[in-house]
Amino acid sequence: MSYGTSVTVDSPFEETVTAVREALADQGFGVLTEIDVQATLKKKLDHDMAPYLILGACNPPLAKRGLDAEAGLGLLLPCNVVVRADGDRTVVEAIDPQTMVELTGNDDLKSVADEAALRLAAALRTLES
């Protein structure tokens, strides 16, 4: 089962993080949460790893529609977007919102997931140009 989509870009990590934030904003997503996995693992486990950031993206109108259709949907929100260094390149991965439909079995979420997927894909496409 595929649960996400990704693009790999030649831009440095920090530059890509900025571009991802802008691309998400252009598609109506705000970043509600940010987890710096690299810093967390270093602090908690003294483990060194490449830069790895999880952004919790939310499009409020889509979130409202989803929560109206499935009150427990908050367990699957926000839409996570990962930005991670991979050598000299940067990988950006976004959750496939269709996993909401698959996990809940609620077909009323399909239109919400469809729109979220289109917006996330559009955001990722802008990174490739």
Instruction: Express each pLDDT in 34-68 by its tens digit.
Output: 999 999 999 999 999 999 999 999 999 999 999 99
Q: What is the per-residue pLDDT across 71-115, written as a single tens digit (0 to 9) for each? A: 999 999 999 999 999 999 999 999 999 998 999 999 999 999 999
Given this model, what pLDDT does residue 29 score?
Answer: 98
User: Measured at the alpha carbon of residue 19, what is the angle toward residues 125 and 77, in degrees to the nearest 5?
Assistant: 75
DSSP state of 28: T
- As for how many domains the chain has, the answer is 1
Residues in CB range of 126: below 8 A, 6 or more apart: 19, 23, 26
Domain of residue 63, residue span: 4-128
pLDDT band at 2 (very low <50, low <70, confident <90, very high): confident
Q: Which two tokens stand for residue 126?
A: 């802008």
Q: Which two tokens stand for residue 56?
A: 């919790």
Q: What is the CATH number of the domain that holds 63?
A: 3.30.310.70
Looking at the predicted structure, is the pLDDT value of residue 1 above 60?
no
Backbone angles phi, psi at 73, to 5 degrees: -60, -20
Is the pTM higher than 0.75? The answer reads yes
**Region 5-27: what's the mean pLDDT?**
97
Measured distance CA(104)–CA(76) in Å, rounded? 10
Measured distance CA(111)–CA(73) in Å, rounded? 14
